[in-house]
């Protein structure tokens, strides 16, 4: 029996097999189900992690192996999900690490507020969002979550509880934003909020190729939100054809459609109605249904069925921001082999490399069913934060696709060669030598990691695989 079990029976660890949302590369670890910040400090002070390392885990929505720790210890933070305070006047919300985006939005909606940045699912935890510096459809205008975190509380392996902000230990604060949980355990944070709109007004266009898609999503686009679905299986001049959505909150757009929406919904106090999934995808869903030929036909049908041009279409907030939450356990669509979501960004001015990457995907015959394309604004946050000014693509791929590893290695080289990078929150197979090319400020991160965790206690499968901050013991 371990020291932590002797002190608190409620903190006894359970050995579990863990994966990321992609359901690949499972590993076993001892999992501690903590219920309070004091529990976190008790585990950290108990000697847990001294042999196999330790990492915090939220809702398990990171696609790769960032919240796993083979042979070591894992802190399950989902028991810490209290909303601590909402300051309506200053537009601030404070919450514990395990509170989900859904928890935060539900609490904020009662005050006529919402978060300024949300990912494609509302099931991500607050600390997970911070660890991955999540971004949404408005990064080109508002940045990622790192830009809106005003303070956080971090517990270190030495048992310290540190209060961090841009004014207090800025280096460690920013290293934690996007730091993949490797600078300490975030136990609570305060984030800015903004007024809750009634709905989103969407302008949709169907494009015939990449050049037209990029023109609609250029830097002078006045819309707050911008995202495109790409058909990556179309060849020739149709390469990069898309359904482009550019939108604004109804309350932010001074046109007739906005006025009608506001009048119609006045008195509702906003419209963030989070609903349960329509149904859960069965456990044994046959992933073989996602054959390349079927995906190609589906993509063509989806592109043709979209309107050529549509303006001011009212969309409710939840389905607009969280399309992935319509189906429960949608990751099972890819079968028992799981999925890899490969997300990369190439800098502005490297559009030729972008086209080359699309052509490589098509040439390698990768069955890309879901490809989401967005524009990112300037870099902000820590050395491991993903976004840089440029174009980002997130592509879902069946992990069992023949030749997938070799194709993604080739894509890595292409992306790194043009100054781009892959998103570590989605990664499950990047090589450490390529990581250091993609993230040139890695040494700054390693300095902060060594300062708060000189023994290398904070470790994950991702950290071990990539050799992050000496996490190879």
In tens, the pLDDT along 69-94 reads 999 999 999 999 999 999 999 999 99
Segment (H or E) for 466: helix 461-466
Q: Check pLDDT > 70 for residue 393.
A: yes
DSSP tag of 209: S
* Amino acid 372: pLDDT: 96
- Give the closest residue to 272 by CA, choosing from 114, 126, 119, 145: 114
Distance CA 238, CA 231 (A): 9
d(CA 42, CA 37): 9
Structure tokens at 104: 């935060």
Mean pLDDT across the stretch 314-324?
Answer: 94
Whether the per-residue pLDDT at 337 is higher than 70: the answer is yes
The residue that leads in pLDDT, 271 or 305, is 305
pLDDT reported for residue 82: 98
Written as one string, the DSSP assignment of 266-298 is: TTS---------SEEPPTT--GGG--HHHHHHH
pLDDT in tens, 338-347: 999 999 999 9
Please give the pLDDT value at position 270: 54
List the alpha helices (DSSP H) in 205-280: 210-216, 256-265
Q: Of 46-55, 132-141, 377-386, which range is least confident?
A: 46-55
Return mean pLDDT, the chain.
Answer: 91
Q: Does residue 421 register a pLDDT over 70?
A: yes
- Per-residue pLDDT, averaged over 193-212, amounts to 95
pLDDT of residue 446: 95
Residue 399, both tokens: 């992990």
Asked whether residue 9 carries a pLDDT value surpassing 70, the answer given is: no
pLDDT for the residue numbered 299: 81
Looking at residue 289, what is its pLDDT? 60
Q: In the predicted model, is pLDDT for residue 126 greater than 60?
A: yes
pLDDT band at 10 (very low <50, low <70, confident <90, very high): low
What residues have CB less than 8 Å from 22, skipping those under 6 apart? 63, 64, 331, 338, 339, 340, 341, 399, 428
Q: How far is CA 164 from CA 435, 447, 458, in A?
A: 27, 17, 19
Mean pLDDT calculated for residue range 234-238: 86
**pLDDT of res. 291:** 66
pLDDT cut 70: percent of the chain above it: 91
H, E, C per residue of 367-431: CCCCEEEEEECCCCCCCCCCCCCEEEEEEEEECCCCCHHHHHHHHHHHHHHCCCEECCCCCCCCC
In order of 13, 285, 385, 451, the CA distances from 378 in angstroms are 42, 40, 11, 28
- The answer, yes or no, to whether residue 188 has pLDDT greater than 90, is yes
Residues 6+ positions from 247 with CB-CB distance below 8 Å: 137, 200, 201, 202, 203, 223, 224, 225, 226, 315, 320
pLDDT at 5 over 60: no
**How much is the pLDDT for 67?**
98
Task: Give CA separation, 287 vs 110, 397, 416, 423, in Å.
Answer: 41, 11, 31, 25
**DSSP for residue 114:** E
For each of the domains in the chain, give its residue range(s) and CATH number, in order of start. Answer: 200-248+286-313+333-431 (3.30.70.2520)
């Amino acid at each position: 029996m371990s020291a932590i079990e002797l002190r608190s029976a409620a903190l006894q660890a359970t050995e579990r097999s863990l994966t990321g949302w992609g359901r690949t590369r499972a590993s076993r670890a001892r999992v501690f189900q903590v219920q309070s910040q004091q529990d976190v400090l008790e585990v950290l002070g108990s000697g847990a992690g001294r042999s196999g390392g330790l990492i915090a885990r939220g809702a398990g929505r990171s696609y790769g192996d960032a919240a796993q720790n083979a042979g070591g210890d894992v802190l399950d933070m989902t028991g810490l999900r209290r909303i601590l305070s909402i300051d309506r006047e200053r537009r601030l919300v404070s919450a514990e690490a395990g509170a989900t985006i859904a928890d935060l939005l539900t609490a904020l909606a009662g005050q006529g507020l919402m978060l300024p940045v949300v990912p494609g699912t509302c099931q991500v935890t607050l600390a997970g969002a911070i660890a991955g510096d999540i971004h949404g459809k408005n990064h080109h205008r508002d940045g990622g979550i790192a830009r809106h975190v005003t303070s956080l509380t971090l517990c270190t392996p030495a048992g310290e509880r540190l209060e961090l902000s841009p004014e207090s230990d800025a280096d460690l604060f920013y290293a934690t934003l996007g730091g993949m949980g490797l600078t300490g355990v975030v136990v609570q944070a305060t984030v800015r909020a903004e007024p809750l709109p009634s709905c989103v007004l969407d302008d949709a266009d169907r494009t015939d190729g990449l050049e037209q898609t990029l023109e609609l999503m250029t830097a002078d686009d006045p819309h707050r939100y911008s995202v495109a679905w790409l058909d990556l299986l179309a060849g020739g001049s149709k390469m990069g054809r898309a359904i482009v959505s550019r939108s604004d909150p109804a309350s932010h757009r001074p046109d007739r459609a906005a006025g009608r929406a506001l009048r119609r919904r006045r008195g509702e106090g906003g419209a963030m109605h989070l609903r349960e999934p329509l149904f859960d995808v069965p456990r044994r869903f046959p992933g073989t249904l996602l054959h390349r030929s079927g995906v190609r036909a589906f993509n063509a049908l989806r592109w043709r069925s979209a309107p050529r041009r549509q303006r001011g279409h009212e969309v409710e907030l939840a389905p607009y921001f969280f399309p992935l939450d319509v189906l429960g356990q949608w990751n099972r669509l890819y079968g028992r082999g799981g999925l890899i979501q490969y997300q990369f960004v190439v800098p502005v001015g490297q559009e030729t490399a972008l086209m080359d990457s699309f052509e490589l995907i098509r040439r390698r015959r990768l069955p890309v069913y879901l490809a989401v394309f967005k524009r990112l604004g300037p870099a902000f946050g820590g050395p491991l934060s993903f976004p840089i000014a440029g174009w980002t693509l997130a592509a879902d791929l069946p992990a069992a696709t023949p030749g997938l590893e070799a194709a993604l290695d080739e894509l890595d080289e292409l992306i790194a060669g043009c100054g781009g990078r892959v998103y570590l929150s989605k990664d499950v197979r990047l090589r450490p030598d390529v990581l250091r090319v993609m993230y040139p400020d890695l040494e700054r991160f390693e300095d902060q990691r060594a300062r708060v965790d000189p023994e290398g206690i904070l470790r994950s499968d991702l950290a071990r695989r990539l050799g992050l901050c000496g996490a190879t013991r």
